[in-house]
């Protein structure tokens, strides 16, 4: 019997790319591939790329350059680029880096087996279309092997918001929601394989409106029905837009016990002037009022957010507005970045209004200092409290396990490996910036 071919996938960026990489591996599993943790012994290498961060494309080209010796030593090695950089750069990737055999966009990776077959015939394979058929309808069902107790499940893709700084509408396309029956079927399958916690994914996940008998369901109704699945103990969702946080979803945070008290809700800026320039279509006051409503439904909610500093035209006064909003809202976790232009987006055309790099760096340092203090305050407030921890894996120290609290905080506990995949009560005894320590109760 022939040995299986080996597939190495390197994943960049968001949780949706993690989900996509899993599905690509499953698609290629049907072609006789098994995954490997190193490119050195791979028969096929895939880079699943992200276009959000600064100089994303250049980082991909740099990574591809490192594979030249592998390709030279193993001419039959096939190298592919997938994801959002593939969608944005298309044929240019193959022109700039001839060792690339195939390029596939994030909406076309269900066609990966056909593209690989083309590459095996010595032909370059490129597919960055936005196909009329949903890729999810053509992917093979997940294999029944046991898996980790947490899983991502994509329910929505694309975005219609067209924020001035964002490439997602151009690389992922318009908003599309998966049918309710397909989502519930995949969720049940994951639970049968040992999953206890599912995170629902979407570029704008709370815009979910999936087809179902009797009419489309919103995200709240989907969550309530997922909560009825025996064995599924925790539900999360990310990433959301403030303008799509509807009343029933707010209510679900208060009355759906399986929906965890953690919410990632990006605002990007606290300045109304900058929010308008970003095309966010909400004000800082509206965002703060929304947070107050959600916390009224779930008082112990831990809030996470995204911030961009140095957006074209941002003044020190605008930045101070951001600091004031952060002080008002108080985040348990946040992600903050300096603005960097993305080709093809409206903001990239505002070169004359670019904030000097040293000014943007100073603002980022001040914002991160404030956000870090707030995160540490939330961490320290957990000491002496009891947390519900889902244990996911062994820790670095012998006899230690690592899991996540209901607030998505990493928790380290001395516990037997038999508890992996189980939820246990833990008294929190110590707090660090990024993790907690505790003891089993």
Helix, strand, or coil (residue 151): strand
Counting DSSP H helices and E strands in the chain, the numbers are 14, 21
Q: How far is the C-alpha of 372 from the C-alpha of 366, rounded, in Å? A: 10
Confirm whether residue 163 is marked as ligand binding: yes
Confirm whether residue 256 is marked as ligand binding: no
Q: How far is the C-alpha of 421 from the C-alpha of 390, rounded, in Å? A: 7
CA-closest candidate to residue 389, choices 201, 229, 233: 233
Q: How many CA atoms lie within 13 A of 146 on its CB side?
A: 4
Distance of CA 313 to the CA centre of its chain: 29
Confirm whether residue 50 is marked as ligand binding: yes
Confirm whether residue 14 is marked as ligand binding: yes
CA 322 vs CA 170, 268, 350: distances in Å: 28, 9, 21
Q: What tokens appear for 52 in the block?
A: 């959000």
Q: How far is the C-alpha of 142 from the C-alpha of 151, rounded, in Å? A: 12
Beta bridge partners of 44: 7, 78
Q: What tokens appear for 281 in the block?
A: 């279509």
User: Phi/psi zone of residue 121: left (φ > 0), alpha (ψ -120 to 50 degrees), beta?
Assistant: alpha
Annotated binding site for [4Fe-4S] cluster: 14, 50, 84, 159, 163, 166
Annotated binding site: 14, 50, 84, 159, 163, 166
């Amino acid at each position: 019997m022939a040995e299986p071919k080996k597939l190495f996938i390197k994943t960049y960026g968001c949780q949706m790319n993690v989900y996509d990489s899993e599905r690509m591996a499953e698609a290629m599993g049907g072609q006789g591939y098994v995954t490997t943790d190193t490119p050195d012994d791979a028969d096929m290498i895939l880079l699943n790329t992200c276009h959000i961060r600064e100089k994303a494309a250049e980082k991909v080209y740099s990574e591809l350059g490192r594979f030249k010796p592998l390709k030279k030593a193993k001419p039959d090695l096939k190298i592919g680029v997938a994801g959002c950089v593939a969608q944005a750069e298309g044929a240019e990737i193959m022109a700039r880096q001839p060792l690339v055999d195939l390029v596939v966009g994030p909406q076309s990776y269900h066609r990966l087996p056909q593209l690989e077959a083309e590459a095996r015939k010595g032909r370059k394979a490129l597919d960055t279309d936005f196909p009329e058929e949903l890729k999810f309808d053509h992917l093979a069902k997940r294999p029944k092997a046991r898996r980790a107790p947490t899983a991502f499940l994509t329910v929505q893709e694309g975005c219609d918001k067209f924020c001035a700084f964002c490439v997602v509408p151009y690389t992922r396309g318009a908003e599309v929601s998966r049918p309710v029956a397909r989502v519930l079927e995949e969720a049940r399958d994951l639970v049968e394989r040992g999953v206890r916690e599912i995170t629902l994914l979407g570029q704008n996940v709370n815009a979910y409106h999936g087809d179902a008998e009797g009419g489309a369901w919103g995200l709240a109704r989907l969550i309530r029905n997922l909560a009825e699945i025996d064995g599924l103990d925790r539900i999360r969702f990310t990433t959301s837009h403030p303008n799509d946080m509807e009343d029933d979803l707010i209510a679900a945070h208060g009355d759906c016990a399986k929906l965890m008290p953690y919410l990632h809700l990006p605002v990007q800026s606290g300045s109304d002037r900058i929010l308008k320039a970003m095309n966010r279509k909400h004000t800082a006051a509206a965002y703060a009022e929304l947070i107050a409503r959600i916390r009224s439904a779930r008082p112990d909610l831990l809030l996470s957010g995204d911030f961009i500093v140095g957006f074209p035209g941002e003044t020190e006064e605008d930045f101070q507005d951001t600091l004031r909003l952060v002080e008002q809202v108080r985040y348990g976790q946040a992600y903050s970045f300096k603005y960097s232009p993305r080709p093809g987006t409206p903001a990239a055309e505002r070169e004359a209004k670019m904030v000097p790099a040293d000014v943007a760096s100073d603002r980022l340092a001040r914002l991160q200092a404030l956000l870090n203090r707030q995160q540490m305050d939330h961490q320290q407030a957990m000491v002496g409290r009891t947390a519900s921890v889902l244990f996911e894996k062994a820790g670095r120290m012998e006899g230690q396990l690592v899991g996540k609290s209901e607030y998505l905080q990493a928790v380290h506990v001395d516990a037997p490996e038999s508890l992996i995949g189980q939820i246990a009560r833990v008294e929190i005894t110590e707090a660090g910036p990024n993790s907690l320590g505790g003891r089993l109760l």
